[in-house]
């Protein structure tokens, strides 16, 4: 029984963090941009949402405002990269570093507890009251599924629009996009804004779910997200439909959380988790390249 509960818990975590993974998929896979802003914008979303709820704002409204805060953070990274020609990784690091101070400013201290406050999760778990002790867990999973489904549907629509096409092409071939009369820089900024908006939204959900926002809650977001994206990609063909790819990115997020839960259960030290994740990502990114080189040598 305890095992099932752990798995359900990991699933709900995977779904809530899955929104962040969809956001990361946009920058990492579509735009071909490793955006470190996410480490800051996840905590930004959490901080904004937590402080608003703490001050009596409606939890759903706080989610929306947190998303806009993330969009702003993405715009700043985009402007640093496009207008000031700062390399992408560094632009992300700059915004992330700045956000550390900003997040403390927002909360006034390093963390904000939400004890006894209404969050979107407490509201929804009331609907499932009849289910007894597990109502909280079930409400988390239901909410996570709904949120992920809605966001994947919106992304599927968006990347089928003219602007969505342009953004996909930017990650592929900037010359071609420029030749189509499209402002390449603007498309990159829009994609970064969209991505960080989703990441901040996810951060706000995480804070409401765990009952507090913490200045360090975003540390390692990029690497965790990459792990989820890579795990998900192991199950999809290159030719697959875009919506299928996003669904598997979220499934990758769930699997990642299950692996983590398993690792903890067999006695891994929680502080070693980030090392574990980083090694997995390094291997997953590096292995295909090494295999390819071997193939060539054989020829």
Least CB distance to another protein at residue 294 (A): 22
Report the Cα 219 to chain-centroid distance in Å.
12
Q: Considering the complex, state which of residue 16 and residue 151 has its C-beta at the smaller distance from another protein.
A: 151
Query: Which residues on neighbouring strands pair with residue 212, listed in sequence order?
Result: 113
Distances (CA, A) of 26 to 22, 148, 171, 194: 7, 15, 10, 8
Q: Considering the complex, state which of residue 107 and residue 167 has its C-beta at the smaller distance from another protein.
A: 167
Q: Considering the complex, state which of residue 23 and residue 171 has its C-beta at the smaller distance from another protein.
A: 171
Least CB distance to another protein at residue 289 (A): 18
Least CB distance to another protein at residue 16 (A): 28
Question: 258 — phi, psi (to 5°)?
Answer: -65, -40
C-alpha angle 217-5-132 in degrees, rounded to nearest 5: 105
| C-beta neighbour count of 268 within 10 angstroms | 14
Least CB distance to another protein at residue 75 (A): 18
Least CB distance to another protein at residue 71 (A): 16
| C-beta neighbour count of 198 within 10 angstroms | 29
Q: Considering the complex, state which of residue 67 and residue 209 has its C-beta at the smaller distance from another protein.
A: 67
Query: Strand, helix or coil at 171?
Result: coil
Distance, CA of 295 to CA of 299 (rounded, Å): 7
Query: Which residues on neighbouring strands pair with residue 113, listed in sequence order?
Result: 212
Contacts of 158 (CB under 8 A, 6+ apart): 164, 194
Q: Considering the complex, state which of residue 167 and residue 230 has its C-beta at the smaller distance from another protein.
A: 167
Least CB distance to another protein at residue 107 (A): 35
Q: Considering the complex, state which of residue 96 and residue 182 has its C-beta at the smaller distance from another protein.
A: 182
Q: Which residues bind another protein (CB under 8 A)?
A: 157-158, 160-166, 168-169, 171-173, 175-184, 187, 238-239
Return the DSSP state at 118.
-
Least CB distance to another protein at residue 55 (A): 34
Smallest Cα–Cα separation from 214: which of 137, 100, 115, 120?
100
Least CB distance to another protein at residue 172 (A): 4
Q: Considering the complex, state which of residue 55 and residue 241 has its C-beta at the smaller distance from another protein.
A: 241
Distance, CA of 95 to CA of 264 (rounded, Å): 32
Distances (CA, A) of 36 to 6, 27, 71, 247, 270: 30, 10, 14, 23, 23
Q: Considering the complex, state which of residue 31 and residue 80 has its C-beta at the smaller distance from another protein.
A: 31
Distance, CA of 38 to CA of 192 (rounded, Å): 10
């Amino acid at each position: 029984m305890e095992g099932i509960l752990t798995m359900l818990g990991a699933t709900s975590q995977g779904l809530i963090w899955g929104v962040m993974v969809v956001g990361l998929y946009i920058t990492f896979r579509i735009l071909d941009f490793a955006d470190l802003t996410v480490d800051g914008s996840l905590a930004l979303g959490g901080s904004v949402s937590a402080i608003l709820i703490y001050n009596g704002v409606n939890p759903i409204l706080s989610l929306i405002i947190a998303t806009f805060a993330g969009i702003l953070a993405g715009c700043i990274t985009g402007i640093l990269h496009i207008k000031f020609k700062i390399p992408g990784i560094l632009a992300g690091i700059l915004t992330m570093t700045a956000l550390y101070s900003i997040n403390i400013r927002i909360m006034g201290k390093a963390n904000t507890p939400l004890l006894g406050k209404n969050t979107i999760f407490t509201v929804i778990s009331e609907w499932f009251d009849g289910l007894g002790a597990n109502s909280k867990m079930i409400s988390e999973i239901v909410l996570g599924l709904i949120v992920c489904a809605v966001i994947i549907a919106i992304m599927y629509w968006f990347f089928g629009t003219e602007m969505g096409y342009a953004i996909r092409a930017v990650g592929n071939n900037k010359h071609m996009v420029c030749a189509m009369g499209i402002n390449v820089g603007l498309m990159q900024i829009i994609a970064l804004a969209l991505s960080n908006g989703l990441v901040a939204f996810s951060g706000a959900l995480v804070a409401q779910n765990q009952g507090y926002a913490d200045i360090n809650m975003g540390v390692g977001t990029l690497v965790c997200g990459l792990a989820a994206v890579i795990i998900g990609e192991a199950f999809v063909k290159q030719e697959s439909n875009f919506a299928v790819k996003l669904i598997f990115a979220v499934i990758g997020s769930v699997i990642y959380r299950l692996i983590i839960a398993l690792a903890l259960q067999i006695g891994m030290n929680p502080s070693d988790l980030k090392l574990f994740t980083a090694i997995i990502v390094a291997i997953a990114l590096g292995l295909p390249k090494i295999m390819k080189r071997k193939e060539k040598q054989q020829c």
